[in-house]
Amino acid sequence: MPRDLPEIDPTVPSIARVYDAFLGGKDHYEVDRQVYQEILKIAPDAPKIGRECRAWLIRVVRFMAASAGVDQFLDVGSGLPTAENTHQAVQRINPEAVVVYVDNDPIVAAHGRALLEENDRTHFVVGDLRFPNELLDDPVVSRYIDWTRPVGLIQSNTVHHVADEYKPNEVMSAYVDALPSGSYVAISHLHNPGDGSSAAVLAEESEVRYMAMMGTCHFRTREQIQSYFAGLEMVEPGLSYLWEWWPDGPRMKSPTDGDYLLLGGVGRKP
């Protein structure tokens, strides 16, 4: 059975609302802004990195919809709507494309229901990404996703919120196993280079601070992140820094330490 939607608690920070603050949105509370300000003390370029995450996501779904011809998408842990969203990017390419968003944040759910009014090919499900079998059995997912045809599965900045006790490898394996042949999986994840560099030190300090404030945020190694693509054929350039994954144009500024703390990639299920 689908899990009950948690109530909004304005005294507890929310991952989705903090990310909304990163992107310059308005759907967050003072407690979320406090977390945001603390993050800025560690990583002053965090807002820029947040925008790069969104830009990577849009490039990924454009690739899936245009080059790969995918016309149905499951965006897990989708977060709050912003200036450009998955359904807008893919439906600009294919107006008939179906997008099902999933999140367990109550404010995201409220916005998700509003998205239903935008068109009849965009849907929202309340679900917890840590429990893939429950999520995939949701009646809305079952109704609008055709599991006999390729699906685009989006896990943008989500798996690093899955603690080791929930076995993220098994979580991702369950999603991949459920996908039909020809499907694509996109994952972006916080990265610790683990090489003693200033970026690695920033990753370690950030994880400690994030965990203290949010209770969830795991910076993992390249090898650990790559393992979430088990059974998939990687799309070039493979698991890379977000700014290296098919950028829209030349990079005009040198990357900062924060730019090395996120990896992203897309894999195709044979």
Q: What is the CATH number of the domain that holds 242?
A: 3.40.50.150
Rounded to whole angstroms, what are the CA distances from 237 to 12, 190, 233?
39, 18, 11
Rounded to an integer, what distance in angstroms lies between the CA atom of residue 124 and that of residue 116? 7
Inside any domain, residue 29: yes
DSSP secondary structure code for residue 123 in this structure: E
> Which residues is 156 bridged to in the sheet?
188
Inside any domain, residue 146: yes
Inside any domain, residue 10: no
Mean pLDDT of the chain: 89
Rounded to an integer, what distance in angstroms lies between the CA atom of residue 158 and that of residue 143? 24
The 10s digit of each residue's pLDDT in 171-188 is 999 999 999 999 999 999
88: phi then psi, degrees, rounded to nearest 5: -65, -40
Q: Are strands 184-190 and 152-156 parallel, antiparallel or unpaired?
A: parallel
Inside any domain, residue 105: yes
| The pLDDT value given to residue 115 | 67
Inside any domain, residue 48: yes
The domain containing residue 44 runs over which residues? Answer: 15-268
Q: Which of 17-21, 93-97, 221-225 shows the lowest mean pLDDT across its residues? A: 17-21
> For the chain, what is the domain count?
1
Q: Which whole number is the average pLDDT over 134-159?
A: 97
Inside any domain, residue 8: no
pTM for the model? 0.89
Inside any domain, residue 5: no
- DSSP E strand stretches across 70-120: 72-76, 98-103
Inside any domain, residue 233: yes
